[in-house]
Amino acid sequence: MKKVEVEQCDFMHVHEEIVKKVQDHMPEAGELRDLADFFKVFGDSTRIKILYVLWQSEMCVCDLAQALNMSQSAISHQLRVLKQMKLVTNRREGKTVFYSLADSHIKTIMNQGMEHIRE
Kindly report whether the global pTM for this prediction surpasses the value 0.75.
Answer: yes
* Total domain count, the chain: 1
Does the residue 5 lie in any domain? no
- The range of the structural domain enclosing residue 43 comes to 16-117
Angstrom distance (rounded) from CA 33 to CA 43: 15
Phi and psi dihedrals of 89, rounded to 5?
Answer: -135, 170
Q: For residue 6, is it within any domain?
A: no
49: left (phi over 0), alpha (psi -120 to 50) or beta: alpha
Do the domain assignments include residue 8?
no
**What CATH number is attached to the domain comprising 92?**
1.10.10.10
> How far is 62 from 70, CA to CA, in rounded Å?
10
Interatomic CA distance for residues 40 and 44, integer angstroms: 8
Give the model confidence (pLDDT) of 93-110 as tens digits: 999 999 999 999 999 999
What CA–CA distance (Å, rounded) separates 48 from 56? Answer: 13
pLDDT at 70: 96
Does any domain span residue 9? no
Residue 4 lies in a domain: no
Domain assignment present for residue 35? The answer is yes
pLDDT value at residue 109: 93
Give the pLDDT confidence of 41-54 residue by residue, as tens digits.
999 999 999 999 99
